[in-house]
Amino acid sequence: MAAQESGSATWAARAAGQYDVLPNITYLTENNVELKLDIFRRKDTTTPQPTMISIHGGGWVAGTRDGLLFLIMPWFEMGWNVVNVDYRTAQVARAPATVEDCLCALRWVGAHAKNYGFDLNGLVINGDSAGGHLSLTTGMIPESAGLDRECPGGPPPKVAAIVNWYGITDVADLLDGPNRRGYAVAWLGSATNREEIARRVSPLTYVRPGLPPILTIHGDADPTVPYAQAARLQKALEKAGVPHQLITVPGGKHGNFTMDQYVTVFAEVRKFLARYDLLPN
């Protein structure tokens, strides 16, 4: 569990002097676990502001919301409100629990927008690795899929854009064969219907016209999540007519890019948001 005030992210926001920090808010209780989020809210305005929902990585088996500071700081610099979300990992509950939790967090944001100044017309989801996957599923999975039936609150708000940092797009591809990954096997377990669950939690299952713009960042030498997964997503989005962009980091591994590469990528992220009129005033 993250530190009392989401540690480094809270320190960074307060050091900037421009944000109120509202830590450790329970958005859902499942398996007797209180699932928490932190809110970083701009001090210099009282009007609803574009808001980024941040989802951490860790292969669905590890990680906390305090580990995503490097992907959050540029959003502070752009003036976004931020909601930083934790979820159940495989040690607590196997798939599809993690996907369900993030869908519930989205509903929570929608239900509490007036309380915290979230502009629901400027709602972007951003995450890395498993968090990239969860950013995609949270923004792509429709209510008809039934994965948010236990979420409190009204209908989920519409997502304006998704920023996916080297996220998984086809979970089944990681369960067997040459792309088998231990973290995916641990998340799905030995359920007899694990292939069906994998399909239900794979972003590629939900590609269709009408989705929000999707930006993907992926290194072409990633040993953890195959780059081919990003390429397959782009091909499917193109076919469906969904606005999209793939930023390929040459020689890039699973994150841990060079400083110059991060600077270049974040400049492209800003351009992507500007293209859809999503930058804060």
Distance CA 132, CA 125 (A): 9
192 lies in some domain: yes
Residue-wise pLDDT tens digits, 42-88: 998 999 999 999 999 999 999 999 887 888 989 998 999 999 999 99
Q: Quick one: how far is CA 148 from the chain centroid?
A: 16
C-beta of residue 214 within 8 angstroms of C-beta of residue 220: no
Range of the domain at 167: 7-275
19 lies in some domain: yes
Distance CA 197, CA 90 (A): 14
82 lies in some domain: yes
The two three-digit tokens of residue 186, written as one number: 């641990």
84 lies in some domain: yes
2 lies in some domain: no
> What is the percentage of the chain residues whose pLDDT exceeds 90?
85
Asked if pLDDT for residue 9 goes beyond 80, the answer is no
251 lies in some domain: yes
Q: For the whole model, what pTM was predicted?
A: 0.94
Asked if pLDDT for residue 14 goes beyond 90, the answer is no
- If you average pLDDT over residues 162-173, what whole number do you get? 98
Indicate which CATH number applies to the domain containing 57: 3.40.50.1820
Residue 273: exposure state from Cβ atoms within 10 A (0-12, 13-18, ≥19):
buried
Identity at 227, one-letter amino acid code:
Y
Q: Is 261 left (phi over 0), alpha (psi -120 to 50) or beta?
A: alpha
Other CB atoms within 10 A of residue 46 CB: 8
Residue-wise pLDDT tens digits, 200-229: 999 999 999 999 999 999 999 999 999 999
Asked if pLDDT for residue 8 goes beyond 70, the answer is no
Identity at 177, one-letter amino acid code:
G
Asked if pLDDT for residue 189 goes beyond 90, the answer is yes
Beta strands in 13-80 (DSSP E): 19-30, 33-42, 49-55
Task: Enter the DSSP assignment of 203.
Answer: G
Distance CA 141, CA 156 (A): 11
Asked if pLDDT for residue 184 goes beyond 80, the answer is yes
Dihedral sign for Cα 215, 247, 222, 255, please.
negative
Asked if pLDDT for residue 108 goes beyond 50, the answer is yes
Closest CA to 213 of 158, 254, 157: 158
1 lies in some domain: no
C-beta of residue 64 within 8 angstroms of C-beta of residue 106: no
Task: Enter the DSSP assignment of 205.
Answer: G
Count of domains in the chain? Answer: 1
281 lies in some domain: no
Distance CA 225, CA 265 (A): 18
